[in-house]
Amino acid sequence: MPNPFKDFFYFSRGERRGILVLAAGIILIFLTGQFYPYLRQHTLSHEELRKQAAAVAEYEAFLTSVKEKEPQWKQRSTTLYPAKRSPALSPIPFNPNRADSLLFRQLGLPGWMAHNILHYRRKGGKFRKAEDFRRIYGLTEEQYQALLPYIRIAPEDTVKDTRHIPLLLTGRDSTASPKNIQYKYPAGTVVELNLADTTELKKIPGIGSHIARLITGYRQRLGGFYRIEQLQDIRLDYRPLQSWLRVDPQKIRPINLNRSGIEKLRSHPYINFYQAKAFVEYRKKNGTLRNLKPFALYEEFSEADLERISHYVCFE
């Protein structure tokens, strides 16, 4: 009996050859699909390496050109932007405790440094020896060494300043040098505080030039003293002077409250801006002032304020 499967799967030689060729083609196509990404990646890697090599060569050429032009750039930069140098000094003999800003500038120091020196002196600072000048902020060692031979410190500047000790009864002016002792009044002398000038005040033991100027300056602002205890307003101890001074309140120059404006009133040490404004506003609303009683109800005035002010105002 004939086998049907054998007849179905029977191929001639030509058909078998065609099948083999077809199978080989399929296998080749499959293998090509598997290895294509690898082959493409391998190809791209070579391309990237070529590009990297080209970039490195270009960078090296750029560095070479920069090195060749660097000396020219340095020379041009030095020409266009020369290095800043400290201003040249012009040393001349000077006393750092007395020199003004103009002299410091003539020495060759910058303006800001001169300002710092003057500010230091205004705060009570003093150069007692040449080495103290080295501490100035911003002063270089080179500048200090150049100025050192020209620094002149006065003998009185080397002594510790005792003027801040109020009324030290030394029997002579605390600011005077031993060679220039001023005459002092003998015990029992009494001076009118509202009339004495600085020369007369300096003759009182314990009062020097500084304190005398302080007293007369404050007296000018007040218009006069009505009692010696007011010296405490300028931080002076009045007790050692009680036997040397007397006060006549009649010598006070009063302020007319009906004629004075705000600026004049507020210039008095015992009247502030708000109090001066209250006086003027009350005068505008109510007319002529006769006394200070209406201001006892004002919050701008305390009882002590009105008592002090009463010695320095008049109404006609």
Q: Tokens 């304190």 belong to which residue? A: 211
Task: Please compute, for residue 145, the number of CA atoms within 13 A of its CA located in the half-sphere on the CB side.
Answer: 3
Question: What pLDDT score was predicted for residue 169?
Answer: 37
Q: What is the pLDDT of residue 272?
A: 95
Q: What is the pLDDT of residue 89?
A: 78
Look at residue 41 in the predicted model and tell me its pLDDT: 53
AA letter at 250: Q
Token code pair at residue 114: 């001169």
What's residue 258's pLDDT?
93
Find, among 235, 203, 237, the residue nearest to 218 by Cα: 235
Structure letter (DSSP) for residue 136? S
Q: For residue 138, what is the enclosing H or E element?
A: none
CA-closest candidate to residue 147, choices 88, 85, 101, 84: 88
CA–CA gap between residue 112 and residue 138 (Å, rounded): 9
Assigned token pair, 71: 């000396």
Please check whether residue 265 is in contact with residue 279, taking contact to mean a CB–CB distance below 8 angstroms: yes
Quote the pLDDT of residue 140: 86
Q: What is the pLDDT of residue 163?
A: 45
State how far the Cα of 157 lies from the Cα of 147, in Å rounded to an integer.
Answer: 19
CA distances from residue 198 to 55, 113, 122 in whole angstroms, order as listed = 90, 35, 22
Positive or negative CA dihedral for 234, 239, 243, 247? positive
211 in Cβ contact with 240 (< 8 Å): no
Q: Which portions of the chain are predicted below pLDDT 70?
A: 1-12, 32-47, 49, 52, 56, 59, 66-87, 159-181
Q: Quote the CA–CA distance of 164 and 128 in Å, as a whole number.
A: 17
Residues 77 and 82: their CA atoms lie apart, in Å, by 7
